[in-house]
Structure 1
Amino acid sequence: MTTTEDISRVPHSVFSLDAVPLADRFEVWRESIGCVFEVGVPRERRVNGFRAELDAHVIGDVALARTSTEAQSWARSSATIARDGMDHLMIQIYEQGRMEFSHRGRDEVFGQDALVVFDLAQEMRSETSDFTNLSLLVPRSLIEPQLKQAADRHMQVIQAEGNPLARLLIDHMTTLKALAPGMNLSQGTEASAATVALTAACLNASRRDDGQGEAGIAFALLVRARQRIAEHLRDPELSPARVARLSGVSRTRLYEMFEPFGGVLAYIREQRLRLALRMLIDHRFAEWPISAVASACGFANDSAFSRAFRARFGTTARDMRAAPAGAERVSGDFDRDLDRRYEEWIRLLSA
């Protein structure tokens, strides 16, 4: 029986394969975790039983999940990124086991006593041993204004040794997970704000800053410009000149600030396409014509939207909307015993 007190607690989901027949376990896991990652194991291990459990809390505007499972491969491909439109940073700590990955020519073996940062809007591949880890998911829109530099932090490993803020964040994540079952919604909101601030502080302290003062000013200007773009994104008349005027910077300075993003127009187009993607996979807009979605996202021309969408995501807007949200569902009498609510919570995090 659900009580008022239960409802006031922060949302909690435990996904477990215990009730699933041995032969179906990996496919059920692959389908469920597919809300974030593509996973794989050798074929012989798929039919001989598989172990996985994911215990998740949504605490205010962040999610915190403990995952315990067997060795497997992990990936976020361009197709997955296009399908889910997820724009979060994910910080992981490994309590048991290890992860191996290669990124931009750098090989890493990551284990205990460290943090690793994932940018879920970027591709990744890794291999893990049997492991237990904690994953903190933070929407980019919440943490980015608190970061000192618009740096690429994807696959950044931060060692706790000699880094008090990294040690503090590891301890905070572990303690927050332990306390979450007794936390109400109001407490979760406060804890969420503190968690985002601590995460930002850890990331800020874990990068090499050359010319920190000037970099801080430049980033503040960039954050303001991106906020102005977000505010006026749906306006088809939005131009670099207008963004510069709204942001209080010269066009020359604006072009310099957005050079890492391929230019101002490229950044605006990317944000509009991401907005369109979110609308296309959101059931609330299922009855909207594609042209209405394009118009609502600031595209003045349907043909230009169609070309840009296909170039960015490798499929048409119509096919994206028609595509299933994940793999073909494995079903059986065990369905009623599966708690998969975390999948939707992650997708709608800070939506």
Structure 2
Amino acid sequence: MTNSAPAAAIDRAPLPREPRNIGDITPAPPQVLSTLPYDRSEHFSVWKARISSLSDVGLPDGKSLAEGFEVEYMNCNMAEVVFNSGYFGTQTFKCLPRRLRRPAINHWFLFHMRSGEAWFETGERRIHARPGAIFLISLDDDFRGRIRDYDGQLLILPREAFAAAVGDGLDRLSNILLSGSLIELLCDYLRDLETRVVRMSPDELGVAGRATVEMIATCVRPSLDRLEQTGASLESALSRRARIHIQKHLHELDLTPEHLANQLGISRSKLYRAFEDVGGVTGYIQRQRLHAAHAELASNTDKQVQEIAYRYGFNFASDFARAFRREFGYSPREARNRQRR
């Protein structure tokens, strides 16, 4: 174990269960929590009970309960945040079932790694974190991940503590490896804070907790700004890709949002966001089909209206006629007659 927490200055204590309302606890001096005072076969069940209100944890394949499970870390409640630093054995994480999620456990994990590795997946984001990495995981997201021989800091951040400072900004930064000069400053701050909390009174810990919230919020803002700029650029590129694909496949009956998302390798939610400004992807596909059908009606007088309607995804001529009239203000036959005249 490479835990750099000042364990010699703090009494080692067995693991209690993690309190559910973390942000409501009175600040208290830190203590070292450990699974080691328990029988080896109980190590993991004790740790699982400790963290059960925040995340569902498991052992990696092939790991036996009889082998023991080492966790030893400094825990310090600072009212606004919970500061943990130490060693956490190899384990898996995944979000709690939705029926167990409550506003009272609406938090983020902030990881700052000294050694070990971490892998996390949330939606389309996947990271592989190594020593020196710092990243956030929203416990309200559908996520899964694992850590291997993790030594470092793990802060628990209640959502309400950050609402005024960054709104939902931390959610948008979830599962991204953070970088930049201010992130490096935040890492230095957290390392320094770890050495100082052991000498703080409860009142000082409360003040330091509020300062830590402000420090985190200030240091992640540039990352949030970059993400928004990059997101706008990527969304524009995605919209162009999607529109080109739609135009090429207007005749295919399975041209649906689900099929389009699969073809582009993106989530449906991301696809929907890319078409918000034009009334949605379903409406956009139908409008493009109607305009293509209008052009074909005007240029090809030999084909029946029903044949053209079916070619552009309408099984019934009556459905096609209603949609056509809503779009252009006149019927398909009127469109053909206008062209003939």
**TM-score, with length taken from structure 1:** 0.52
Amino acid across the alignment from 2:142: E
Amino acid across the alignment from 2:58: G
State the secondary structure of the residue aligned to 1:94.
strand
**What are the within-5 Å matches in structure 2 for residues 224-263 of structure 1?**
none
Matched, 1:33 2:44: no
Shift of 1:175: 1.2
Matched, 1:118 2:145: no
Alpha-carbon distance in 1 for matches of 2:227, 2:80: 32
1:65 maps to: 84
Tell me how many residue pairs correspond in the alignment. 204
Matched, 1:147 2:147: no
**What are the within-5 Å matches in structure 2 for residues 217-296 of structure 1?**
none
On the 8 A contact 1:117/1:154 being kept in 2, the answer is yes
On the 8 A contact 2:123/2:142 being kept in 1, the answer is no
Structure 1 gaps of 5+ residues are: 1-7, 213-258, 260-351
2:215 maps to: 198
Amino acid across the alignment from 2:71: A
Amino acid across the alignment from 1:12: P
On the 8 A contact 1:114/1:166 being kept in 2, the answer is no
Alpha-carbon distance in 2 for matches of 1:166, 1:30: 31
On the 8 A contact 1:97/1:111 being kept in 2, the answer is yes
State the secondary structure of the residue aligned to 2:75.
strand
- Structure whose alpha-carbon radius of gyration is higher: 2
Matched, 1:158 2:178: yes
On the 8 A contact 1:147/1:203 being kept in 2, the answer is no
**TM-score, with length taken from structure 2:** 0.54
Matched, 1:13 2:42: no
Shift of 1:35: 2.8
Alpha-carbon distance in 1 for matches of 2:128, 2:183: 18
Shift of 1:9: 7.8
Shift of 1:106: 3.1
Structure 1 runs (4+) greater than 4 angstroms displaced: 148-151, 209-212
Shift of 1:186: 2.2
Of 78, 87, 91 in structure 1, the residue corresponding to residue 106 of structure 2 is: 87
Alpha-carbon distance in 1 for matches of 2:101, 2:44: 24
Larger RCO of the pair (alpha carbons < 8 Å, separation 6+): 1
**What are the within-5 Å matches in structure 2 for residues 103-114 of structure 1?**
103-114=122-133
Structure 2 gaps of 5+ residues are: 1-25, 230-275, 277-341
CA root-mean-square deviation: 2.8
Of 55, 72, 88 in structure 2, the residue corresponding to residue 53 of structure 1 is: 72
- Cα 1:158–1:209 change in 2 (3 A) is closer
Deviation sequence 1:152-186 (CA, Å, 0-9, x none): 22222203xxx111011111111111111100122
State the secondary structure of the residue aligned to 2:73.
strand
2:190 maps to: 173
Shift of 1:58: 1.0
